[in-house]
Amino acid sequence: MKLRVILFFYFFLSQFLAFGQTILKGRVLDEQGKGLPGVNIYIKGSYDGTTSGTEGDFSFQTTQEGIQILAIRMMGFKSQEQNITCDGGELQLEDFKLVELITEMNGVTISAGAMEASDEKKSVILRPLDIVTTPSAMGDIVGALQTLPGTSTVGNDGRLFVRGGDASEVGIYIDGMRVGNAYGTTAGNVPTRTRFNPNLFKGTFFSTGGYSAEYGQALSSALALNTKDLSVRKQGDLSLMSVGGGYSQTWASEKQSLTLSGNYFDLGPYQQIIPQDFDFERAPFGWDLEVAAQKKLKNGGLWKVLARTESGGMKLWDVQPGSENRGTLIDLTNRYSYAQTNWKKAGKSGWTWFAGAAISSNLDEVDFDTLQTERDNKLAHLKASAVKDFSDRISMKIGVEHFIHRYAEGLPQINQERDFLDNQSFLYTEWDWYLSRKLVLRGGLRAGKSSLNSEEWLDPRFSLAYQLSPKGQLSLAAGKFSQLPVETYRVLTQDLKNTESNHLILNYLWQSEGITFRAEAFYKSYQGLIRFDGTVQNPENLRNEGEGFARGLDFFFRDQKSIKNTDYWITYSFVDSKRSFEQFASRVQPGFAPRHNFSVVVKHFVAPLKSQLGASFSFNDGYAYTDPNFPGEMNRKTPGFQNLSLSWSYLPKPNLIIHAGVTNVLGRENVFGYDFAGEPNSQGIYESRAIGQAAPRFLFLGIFLTLSQDKNANQLNNL
Amino acid sequence: MKKYLFILAFLAVNLSNVAQADPAYESAMKSQIQAMNEITDAQASAEVANAFLRIAEANSNEWLPLYYAALTKIEGAFRFDVNKDQEFDSAIELIQEASEISPNNSELTALHGYALMGKLSLDPVSRGQSMSPQVMQLFGLAINQDRENPRAVTLMAQMELGMAEFFGSGPQKACGMARIALDLYKSESAKIDESYIHPTWGVETAEELAKRCQ
Tell me, yes or no, if B137 comes closer than 8 A to chain A by beta carbon.
yes
Does one domain contain both A572 and A680?
yes
Report how many domains make up chain A: 2
Closest CA in chain B for residue A607:
B166
Angstrom CA distances, B72 to A258, A286, A668, B123, B199, stand at 37, 55, 60, 22, 12
Higher-confidence residue of B106 and A326: namely: B106
Query: Degrees (nearest 5) of the Cα angle A156, A161, A162?
Result: 160
Interchain CB distance below 8 Å, B140 and A128:
no
Tell me, yes or no, if B142 comes closer than 8 A to chain A by beta carbon.
no
Looking at beta carbons, which residues of chain A come within 8 Å of B13?
Answer: 11
Identify whether B35 is part of a domain: yes
Does one domain contain both B90 and B131?
no
Looking at beta carbons, which residues of chain A come within 8 Å of B163?
Answer: 654
User: Are the beta carbons of A127 and A117 closer than 8 angstroms?
Assistant: yes
Tell me, yes or no, if B58 comes closer than 8 A to chain A by beta carbon.
yes
Range 696-715 of A in CB contact (< 8 A) with B:
710-713, 715
Interchain CB distance below 8 Å, A712 and B143:
yes
Angstrom CA distances, B130 to A203, A454, A677, B127, stand at 12, 48, 54, 6
Looking at residue A136, what DSSP letter applies? G
Question: Can you tell me the distance from the alpha carbon of A176 to that of A201, in angstroms, rounded to the nearest whole number?
Answer: 13
Does one domain contain both A72 and A122?
no
Looking at beta carbons, which residues of chain A come within 8 Å of B162?
Answer: none
Does one domain contain both A84 and A135?
no
Residue A278 Cα, gap to closest chain B Cα (Å): 39
Tell me, yes or no, if A390 comes closer than 8 A to chain B by beta carbon.
no
Closest CA in chain B for residue A713:
B140
* pLDDT of B4: 58
Identify whether A517 is part of a domain: yes
Q: Cα-flanking dihedrals φ and ψ of residue A560, to 5°?
A: -115, 0
Task: Tell me the pLDDT band of B1, cut-offs 50, 70 and 90.
Answer: low
Report how many domains make up chain B: 2
Question: Can you tell me the distance from the alpha carbon of A665 to that of A644, in angstroms, rounded to the nearest whole number?
Answer: 6
**pLDDT of B17 over the 50 cut:** no
Tell me, yes or no, if A651 comes closer than 8 A to chain B by beta carbon.
yes
Identify whether B115 is part of a domain: no
Interchain CB distance below 8 Å, A119 and B53:
no
Interchain CB distance below 8 Å, A75 and B137:
no
Identify whether A548 is part of a domain: yes
* pLDDT of B123: 83
**pLDDT of B9 over the 70 cut:** no
Identify whether A659 is part of a domain: yes
Distance of CA A414 to the CA centre of its chain: 43
Who among B54, B86, B169 is closest to A42 (CB)?
B54
* pLDDT of A712: 43
* pLDDT of A285: 96
Give every CB contact of residue A628 below 8 A, 6+ residues apart in sequence. A676, A680, A686
Tell me, yes or no, if B82 comes closer than 8 A to chain A by beta carbon.
no
Question: Can you tell me the distance from the alpha carbon of A355 to that of A343, in angstroms, rounded to the nearest whole number?
Answer: 5
* pLDDT of A715: 38
Q: In this predicted model, what pLDDT tens digit does every residue of A327-363 receive, in sequence order?
A: 899 999 999 999 999 999 998 888 999 999 999 999 9
Identify whether A207 is part of a domain: yes
Interchain CB distance below 8 Å, B134 and A232:
yes
Does one domain contain both B98 and B142?
no
Question: Can you tell me the distance from the alpha carbon of A249 to that of A255, in angstroms, rounded to the nearest whole number?
Answer: 17
Mutation test of the interface with chain A: which of B48, B66, B126, choosing the one with the most A Cβ atoms within 10 A? B126
**pLDDT < 70: residue spans in chain A:** 1-20, 119-124, 128, 709-719
Does one domain contain both B84 and B154?
no
Who among B86, B129, B137 is closest to A129 (CB)?
B129
* pLDDT of B7: 54
Question: Can you tell me the distance from the alpha carbon of B3 to that of A500, in angstroms, rounded to the nearest whole number?
Answer: 81
Question: Can you tell me the distance from the alpha carbon of B55 to that of B196, in angstroms, rounded to the nearest whole number?
Answer: 17
pTM listed for this prediction: 0.84
Identify whether A102 is part of a domain: no
Tell me, yes or no, if B127 comes closer than 8 A to chain A by beta carbon.
yes
Query: Degrees (nearest 5) of the Cα angle A620, A622, A626?
Result: 160
Angstrom CA distances, B16 to B22, B24, B65, B174, stand at 10, 15, 21, 45
Closest CA in chain B for residue A117:
B126
Q: Would you state the torsion angle of the CA atoms of residues A622, A624, A629, A631, taken in this order, to the nearest 10 degrees?
A: 130
Identify whether A249 is part of a domain: yes
Mutation test of the interface with chain A: which of B4, B5, B50, B180, choosing the one with the most A Cβ atoms within 10 A? B50
Does one domain contain both B155 and B196?
yes
Does one domain contain both B159 and B98?
no
Local structure of A518: helix, strand or coil = strand
Q: In this predicted model, what pLDDT tens digit does every residue of A95-110 receive, in sequence order?
A: 999 998 888 778 888 8
**Which of A42, A68, A97 is a domain's end point?**
A97
Range 169-208 of B in CB contact (< 8 A) with A:
169, 173, 176-177, 180
Identify whether B8 is part of a domain: no
Identify whether B122 is part of a domain: no
- With 0-12 / 13-18 / 19 or more C-beta atoms within 10 angstroms meaning exposed / middle / buried, residue A587 is middle
User: Are the beta carbons of A100 and A30 closer than 8 angstroms?
Assistant: yes
Does one domain contain both A88 and A197?
no
* pLDDT of A349: 86
Question: Can you tell me the distance from the alpha carbon of B132 to that of B142, in angstroms, rounded to the nearest whole number?
Answer: 15
Who among B10, B28, B139 is closest to A712 (CB)?
B139
Helix axes B106-122, B84-101, angle to 10 degrees: 160
* pLDDT of A19: 53
User: Are the beta carbons of A564 and A604 closer than 8 angstroms?
Assistant: no
Identify whether B1 is part of a domain: no
Tell me the sheet residues that pair with A550: A524, A577
Does one domain contain both A308 and A232?
yes
Mean pLDDT to the nearest integer, B96-120: 95
Question: Can you tell me the distance from the alpha carbon of A86 to that of A68, in angstroms, rounded to the nearest whole number?
Answer: 7
**Which of A71, A97, A123 is a domain's end point?**
A97
- Helical (H) or strand (E) element with B181: helix B172-191
Interchain CB distance below 8 Å, A651 and B167:
yes
Identify whether B13 is part of a domain: no
Range 94-123 of A in CB contact (< 8 A) with B:
105, 119
Tell me the sheet residues that pair with A302: A296, A344
Who among B47, B55, B137 is closest to A51 (CB)?
B47
Question: Can you tell me the distance from the alpha carbon of A443 to that of A435, in angstroms, rounded to the nearest whole number?
Answer: 13
* pLDDT of A609: 87
Who among A42, A51, A605 is closest to B46 (CB)?
A51
**Which of A97, A122, A145 is a domain's end point?**
A97
Higher-confidence residue of A133 and B115: namely: B115
Does one domain contain both A93 and A123?
no
Identify whether B6 is part of a domain: no
Tell me, yes or no, if B85 comes closer than 8 A to chain A by beta carbon.
yes
Tell me, yes or no, if A653 comes closer than 8 A to chain B by beta carbon.
yes
Tell me, yes or no, if A636 comes closer than 8 A to chain B by beta carbon.
no
Interchain CB distance below 8 Å, A716 and B53:
no
Q: Which domain holds residue B98?
A: 26-103
* pLDDT of A656: 85
Does one domain contain both A153 and A92?
no
**Alpha carbon distance, N-terminus to C-terminus of chain B:** 74
Residue A649 Cα, gap to closest chain B Cα (Å): 14
Does one domain contain both A409 and A358?
yes
Distance of CA A613 to the CA centre of its chain: 25
* pLDDT of A7: 53
Q: How many residues does chain B have?
A: 214
Count the neighbouring beta carbons within 10 Å of the beta carbon of residue A430. 21
Does one domain contain both A275 and A393?
yes
Interchain CB distance below 8 Å, B136 and A47:
no
Tell me, yes or no, if B139 comes closer than 8 A to chain A by beta carbon.
yes
**Which of B103, B118, B135 is a domain's end point?**
B103
* pLDDT of A120: 61
Interchain CB distance below 8 Å, A716 and B177:
yes
Tell me, yes or no, if A47 comes closer than 8 A to chain B by beta carbon.
yes
Count the neighbouring beta carbons within 10 Å of the beta carbon of residue A412. 11
Looking at beta carbons, which residues of chain A come within 8 Å of B143?
Answer: 712, 715-716, 719
Q: What is the mean pLDDT of chain B?
A: 86
Looking at beta carbons, which residues of chain B come within 8 Å of A605?
Answer: 125
Does one domain contain both B35 and B72?
yes
Interchain CB distance below 8 Å, A712 and B156:
yes
* pLDDT of A121: 61
Query: Degrees (nearest 5) of the Cα angle B30, B33, B39?
Result: 145
Tell me, yes or no, if A78 comes closer than 8 A to chain B by beta carbon.
no
Does one domain contain both A532 and A497?
yes
Closest CA in chain A for residue B147:
A719
Who among B3, B43, B134 is closest to A3 (CB)?
B3
Closest CA in chain A for residue B181:
A719
Looking at beta carbons, which residues of chain B come within 8 Å of A202?
Answer: 130
Identify whether A417 is part of a domain: yes
Identify whether A198 is part of a domain: yes
Who among A10, A40, A127 is closest to B53 (CB)?
A40
Does one domain contain both A228 and A268?
yes
Question: Can you tell me the distance from the alpha carbon of A680 to that of A412, in angstroms, rounded to the nearest whole number?
Answer: 34
Question: Can you tell me the distance from the alpha carbon of A597 to that of A620, in angstroms, rounded to the nearest whole number?
Answer: 4
Who among B43, B126, B173 is closest to A127 (CB)?
B126
Does one domain contain both A319 and A438?
yes
Who among B6, B123, B147 is closest to A719 (CB)?
B147
CATH of the domain at A237: 2.40.170.20
Q: Which domain holds residue A78?
A: 17-97
Count the neighbouring beta carbons within 10 Å of the beta carbon of residue A482. 22
Q: In this predicted model, what pLDDT tens digit does every residue of B20-74 receive, in sequence order?
A: 468 889 999 999 999 999 999 999 999 999 999 999 999 999 999 999 999 999 9
Sign of CA dihedral A678, A679, A682, A683: positive
CATH of the domain at A45: 2.60.40.1120
A-B Cβ pairs (cutoff 8 Å, strict): 101
